Amino acid sequence: QRLRIGVLFGGRSGEHEVSIQSAKSLMQALDPSRYEILPIGISKTGEWVFGLQAFAALQTSVPDYLANSYQASNWGDCAMSLAQLQSLVDVVFPVLHGSFGEDGTIQGMLEMLNIPYVGAGVLASAVGMDKLFMKRIFGVAGLPQCAYCSVMRQEFESDENAVISSIEREIGFPCFVKPANLGSSVGISKAKNREQLKQALETAAQYDRKLIVEEGLNVREVEVAVLGNDSPLASVPGEIVPSSEFYDYEAKYMSGSSELMIPANLPEDQSKQLQMLAIQAFQAIDGSGLARVDFFIEKETNRILINEINTMPGFTIYSMYPKLWEATGVPYIELVGRLISLALERFADKQ
């Protein structure tokens, strides 16, 4: 009996395209003799499309390996209701990044349907997605982080000058302005003066009603992958050398010239410390399954600061998360198998 896996991909967030790529890598890695795949695409406007039709609906090609193995499946390409999902899959892998996917909403739906799913639960997803609450939880857990403040769009729109002056006083320049709930660097800009700060706030305000402003640091960027439930493991750290001034959307997905150095060239004790902090961060938000924890190492002081945690990190075969595990001794295919086992284990623990 093959395990039936619903792969949820696409989604309503700004990271729709990234999700499609992650899902295709994942589906390719699922051994058709062990797993039966039900692709479930979510369009940018939120329509759900089940089966092979999902690819056309999301304007992407059906991968060959899937077109071939799919004939053996007893799922039709028919419309299906969410309630039916429960009887059709054994586990769901929500390979969705950003809002309505990485933020606890889909996780809550799957909880209600009583379907096991890969990755973080409702709380961890929500906390990991909201940069303000993430920072507050990290603060309580005693994790080192940079100076920041939050601004509501409403505050900014009602008195731009007051908001800008207070940021100038509290944070100074350069600073980074971010929408609180997003990923893939969408809506993030670096500001070096008042004029740029105003522009950056306007940009971020297009994506969210809540904004974060952080001190801009001169840093190396290092990431650690975490895998597990109640006794999580940390991978070797990897370093990103961005092709742009910072690791923006373009540097992440377009130019292809950002370099990943795996493992990162760091002293042994610093690597160990990063791994320890990554696990602390994972546990601070009550993570499960997987997470990628992103750090800064300040160049002048060598100080480690936590930047953020991503509960459903990029999952293509070229992405940092799977590559970190590969370098730590867990190849992609095995990683997928372990994530599915962790999902079933977590589900069983709750019963």
Binding site for ligand ATP (CB under 6 A): 146, 176, 178, 182-185, 188, 214-217, 219, 221, 242, 246-247, 294, 307-308, 310
Active site residue 223: no
Minimum CB–partner distance for residue 82 and ligand ATP (Å)? 28
Helices (H), 38-152: 53-57, 64-70, 82-88, 105-112, 122-129, 131-140
Binding site partner of 246, from ligand ATP, Mg ion, none, Cβ cut-off 5-8 A by kind: ligand ATP
Nearer to ligand ATP, 239 or 294 (CB): 294
Nearer to Mg ion, 168 or 250 (CB): 250
Minimum CB–partner distance for residue 122 and ligand ATP (Å)? 19
Single out the catalytic residue among 10, 98, 314, 337.
314
Nearer to ligand ATP, 34 or 303 (CB): 303
Structure tokens at 281: 């961060």
Active site residue 34: no
Q: What residue ranges bind Mg ion (CB under 5 A)?
A: 183, 294, 308, 310
Binding site partner of 146, from Mg ion, ligand ATP, none, Cβ cut-off 5-8 A by kind: ligand ATP
Single out the catalytic residue among 308, 319, 321, 346.
308
3-state secondary structure of 15: coil
Structure tokens at 71: 């004939």
Minimum CB–partner distance for residue 134 and ligand ATP (Å)? 10
Binding site partner of 103, from ligand ATP, Mg ion, none, Cβ cut-off 5-8 A by kind: none
Structure-token match 């003066």, residue found: 193
Q: Looking at beta carbons, which pairs linking 193-202 to residues 24 or more positions away fall under 8 Å?
A: 194/164, 194/168, 197/164, 197/167, 197/168, 197/173, 198/160, 198/164, 201/151, 201/156, 201/160, 201/163, 201/164, 201/177
Nearer to Mg ion, 90 or 221 (CB): 221
Residue nearest to Mg ion (CB): 183
3-state secondary structure of 214: strand
Nearer to ligand ATP, 42 or 177 (CB): 177
Structure-token match 């840093």, residue found: 219
Active site residue 286: no
Active site residue 247: no
Active site residue 169: no
Minimum CB–partner distance for residue 227 and ligand ATP (Å)? 17
H or E segment at 6? Answer: strand 3-10
Helices and strands counted in the chain (H then E): 14, 14
Active site residue 15: yes
Binding site partner of 214, from ligand ATP, Mg ion, none, Cβ cut-off 5-8 A by kind: ligand ATP
Binding site partner of 208, from Mg ion, ligand ATP, none, Cβ cut-off 5-8 A by kind: none
CA distance 53 to 40: 9
Judge contact between 264 and 239, C-beta under 8 A. yes
Single out the catalytic residue among 10, 13, 15, 289.
15
Minimum CB–partner distance for residue 35 and ligand ATP (Å)? 28
Binding site partner of 213, from Mg ion, ligand ATP, none, Cβ cut-off 5-8 A by kind: none
Minimum CB–partner distance for residue 182 and Mg ion (Å)? 7
Active site residue 74: no
Single out the catalytic residue among 294, 319, 337, 346.
294
Q: Tell me, letter by letter, the H, E, C secondary structure of 249-266.
A: HHHHHHCCCCEEECCCCC
Closest CA to 178 of 72, 38, 81, 308: 308
Binding site partner of 176, from Mg ion, ligand ATP, none, Cβ cut-off 5-8 A by kind: ligand ATP
Minimum CB–partner distance for residue 269 and ligand ATP (Å)? 24
109 by Cβ neighbours in 10 Å (0-12 / 13-18 / 19+) ranks as middle
Structure-token match 């910072």, residue found: 246
Active site residue 207: no
Judge contact between 146 and 217, C-beta under 8 A. yes
Active site residues per annotation: 15, 184, 253, 292, 294, 308, 310, 314
